[in-house]
Copies of this chain bind each other. A is one copy, B any other.
Amino acid sequence: MIKMVNESRVQLGVCYYPEQWPETLWDDDMRRMKQLNFQYIRIGEFAWSIFEPEEGVFQFELFDKVCDLAAQHGLQVIMGTPTATPPAWLTYKYPEVLNASKEGVSYYHGQRRHYNYSSKIYRDKCATITMKLAEHYKNHEAVVGWQIDNELNCETNVFYAEADHSAFREWLQTKYGTLDKLNDAWGAVFWNQTYSDWQQVHLIRPTPSDSPNPHQALDEKRFISDNTISFAKLQADILRREAPNQWVTTNGLFGHLDNHKLTDDLLDFYSYDSYPQFSSISQEAGDQPLRDRRVSLNLSVVRSISPNFCIMEQQSGPGGWVNRMEMPSPKPGQMRLWTYQSIAHGADMVLYFRWRTAIAGTEIYWHGINDYHNRPNRRVREVEQIGQELMELGLGERIAGKIYKSKVAMVRDYANDWDGELDRWYGPLIWKSEMAWFKTLQYQHIPMDYVFLDSKLNIAELSSYEVLIYPHGAVMTIKTAALLRQYVEQGGKLVLGARTGYKDEYGKVRMEEMPGPVADLCGIIVEDFTLIAGTEKPAYIEWSGDELIAEGFNDILQVDSDTVEVIANYKDKYYAGKPVLTRNRVGQGEVYYYGAAYNELVARKLLDSLSLESPISEWCELPQSVELAIRSNDEGKVIFLLNYAAEAVQLKFKKKVFDQITGRDLEHDVELEAYGVIVILQ
């Protein structure tokens, strides 16, 4: 079942913390929210002590008042379960609920997310508070939905409390049944790691030089994901049972969590927290940095979970904690640009984080729309403009329910993400190649989706794309290989990279020539190879006269089939003249194998072979700084043009179209202002 937001128009809203402010402000706050065309407020997710000030004593007065007031103002409430921040009384009385570092150092009360998902006591306490909240608010007229916890696996995505070691052991017993199977899956015969009793088995623990068993490390991440989902399910089940008329979501895209499964199994739709200004914290590699535009990649991943979705937290100003993540102020126009970026990629609900900047605690610099002083400012004015465009111009209705469309998809899967996190022999290549492709497609104005390989993925879904790019699927099952073959045979173009297919589902290596289960599909084998690292420099490539380089890893290819065409060869080193890029025609389609990590020049040059170009190239020329995104359904298309540059840029329109926002005709040379947005309906 596709998990989507179901709104009749794009809705705005805001995260609100009434418990942090005098009650005298609430009414004015809500009045102004409505003025800004907000429909939603999210509340409650860090307020456990308000609801349960001491163990077993529950009180709802504060939030009852808030919900009643919201109802009066016509605002709808998303209620957060407060389990991301256990009360001091809870962690003090039951220290076993705390998470710990790998070295066994407990995390304590004083920040947030310091608990583990495995403790029976913590699960009980979470079930109780969720039940109490559900019982109390299930019929409140203002309350329409629930957010489970907050940003699962943010801050840390590893867990080493005693309860986690035990839960991992149980998870392994369920998965493997016998120790023999576990020992085999983990290759435990190597370095004498064979287990003879389940009690000997643990999550990764300290070792002299911190190189754990890699198959154990992969299972640890799978366990953490399953355990996180199981923790969320406890709450979801209660909410479904108690409050069947309210929807359920959660927010965030963090590590060691299969968000697809989480959403499929538990949620109505997925929610994401969008902070494009994180891009300002560190310098980005390369000479054409994406900066805030890189969030479009994350949004594309989010879309693979819920084709349309909610932004539960949209950046509202400068951000950062007191001692970390210092983000400068967004420039005038950027908050609006980022809101349209979210919407262009599929958001049908956007809540700003937060209404007013906190005046105490770790997030006094994670600014809300309103400043500390609560008087008019440019950020409130900018949000007001967005609300007017979406609501008063009726743009919100035209956009909602339409889906982002692309002909090309990047293929990703959790197995390689998690195995590659430890494995430096291919893990770093994934991100390098994905960024190279993403930037290339962005700068060529070619919309791109993400597709995740999982148990529910079928050929129909794959076949909706003309091109699939799967850069470094080192871990590859036979089933995946078969699915990819089916895709190609039906006419798809498949683009692979170095290190494909040499590992099985446990991250163990196949006793086969690479690329293992897709060697036949590719028509090549890897004859020899070298890591490009340390003192080893990348090799040059000969490809129709262009000088390119093969980075990261060099697979030296040997053609193994008559149907294979060598597109490019290595140009230097002892493997000069050997193939580096091949194309095999199989059935109606074709498959490319590139024996290295992709960089932008290589990706750019491959676009021609793949016949990929901008879907509006016939009537519109865009400069590099402008992103193109198209949402469509049977009723038509909405075309978004988003300028990320700090300067006005020139667009060229070969036919006349109409900008819904400014109400102006666009024809010939058109200037789009810094951070400007054009929306065209077709």
Contact = CB atoms under 8 A, between A and B. Distances in A.
Interface stretch (A86-94, A337-345, A486-494, A648-656): A86-94
A92 B155 CA distance: 32
Interface string A266-300: 00000000000001111100000001000000000
Contact of A531 (B109, B283, B326): B326
7 contacts: A53-B194, A89-B197, A92-B199, A111-B212, A156-B209, A214-B362, A323-B423
Given A99-B208, A110-B207, 9 more contacts: A53-B194, A88-B196, A108-B207, A187-B360, A190-B360, A190-B362, A282-B534, A326-B533, A358-B509
Interface string A144-156: 0000000000011
Given A49-B194, A365-B425, A328 B530 contact: yes
A462 to B, nearest CB: 29
Nearest to A115: B208
B534 A192 contact: no
Given A114-B208, A323-B424, A513-B375, A192 B87 contact: yes
Contacts of A104: 105
Contact of A191 (B50, B99, B362): B362
B327 A534 contact: yes
Interface stretch (A314-322, A449-457, A579-587, A610-618): A314-322
B202 A108 contact: yes
Interface residues of A, number: 116
Given A46-B190, A190-B46, A208 B113 contact: yes
A454 to B, nearest CB: 24
Given A105-B104, A155-B209, A205-B110, A574 B359 contact: no
Given A280-B535, A360-B190, A196 B529 contact: no
Interface string A490-533: 00000000000010001011111110000000000000111111
A208 B110 contact: no
* Majority DSSP secondary structure for residues of A touching B: loop
Contacts of A506: 360
A6 interface: no
Given A89-B197, A206-B108, A528 B378 contact: yes
A128 interface: no
Give the copy number. Answer: 3
A189 to B, nearest CB: 5
A45 B1 CA distance: 54
Given A192-B49, A318-B530, A361-B213, A206 B106 contact: yes
A20 interface: yes
Nearest to A360: B187
Contacts of A211: 111, 321-324, 362
Given A373-B512, A528-B329, A361 B322 contact: no
A215 interface: yes
A329 B530 contact: yes
A331 interface: yes
A189 B530 CA distance: 56
A99 B205 CA distance: 13
Contacts of A530: 318, 328-329
Contacts of A502: 372
Nearest to A202: B108
Given A194-B87, A200-B88, A110 B212 contact: yes
Contact of A281 (B208, B374, B512, B534): B534
A54 interface: yes
A471 B362 CA distance: 24
Interface in A5-52: 17, 19-20, 46-50
A529 B101 CA distance: 38
Interface in A229-264: none
A324 B422 CA distance: 9
A42 to B, nearest CB: 15
Nearest to A284: B535
A363 interface: yes
A447 interface: no
A425 B327 CA distance: 10
A189 B110 contact: no
A190 to B, nearest CB: 3
A280 B194 contact: no
The 4 closest A-B pairs by CB, nearest first: A187-B360, A190-B361, A111-B207, A329-B530
A561 interface: no
Nearest to A86: B192
A548 B205 CA distance: 52
Contacts of A72: none
Contacts of A566: none
A279 B536 CA distance: 11
Nearest to A511: B372
A280 B534 contact: yes
A422 B375 CA distance: 28
A211 B326 CA distance: 13
A69 interface: no
Contacts of A106: 206
Contacts of A50: 189, 192
Most buried by B among A156, A511, A532: A511
Nearest to A363: B190
A214 B361 contact: yes
Nearest to A216: B110
Contact of A326 (B215, B374, B534): B534
A195 interface: yes
B324 A19 contact: no
A623 interface: no
A85 interface: yes
A574 B105 contact: no
A64 interface: no
A88 B193 contact: yes
A673 B85 CA distance: 66
Contacts of A513: 373, 375
A422 B361 CA distance: 12
A464 interface: no
A458 interface: no
